[in-house]
Amino acid sequence: NAGVMQNPRHLVRRRGQEARLRCSPMKGHSHVYWYRQLPEEGLKFMVYLQKENIIDESGMPKERFSAEFPKEGPSILRIQQVVRGDSAAYFCASSPGTGLYGYTFGSGTRLTVV
């Protein structure tokens, strides 16, 4: 029973490029959450999605960032025209329903912008 799968584990992008981070939730989980963690900080909520719907994007920067969770395939967090300040660890969590039961984090994608 695989956990939450995130890939790539490490991603290096030059300033101005696009970064695409993928998250495959646990089997049977239809709710996905994205968080960002800066060095020496806790995780900060970005966006909450269910299949084909964005439920809450209150933590998402208004520009350059977007997220989707299509009917088929993984959830994608897309960062356009990356800047150095986007360097961080991005974590995805999934759950089977609303609330915190079964809420599980992936191992994260470490994005480095050079």
Q: Within 10 Å of residue 52's Cβ, how many Cβ atoms?
A: 10
Q: Does 112 bind other proteins (CB under 8 A)?
A: no
Shortest CB 80 distance to other proteins, Å: 23
Question: Taking phi first (over 0 means left), then psi (-120 to 50 degrees means alpha), and beta for anything else, what does residue 9 get?
Answer: alpha
Residue 90's DSSP bridge partners are 36, 109
Interactions with other proteins, residue window 49-108 (CB under 8 A): 55-56, 58-59, 91, 93, 95, 98-100, 103-108
Per-residue contact string for residues 5-44; x = within reach of other proteins by CB under 8 A = --------------------------x-x-x----xxxxx
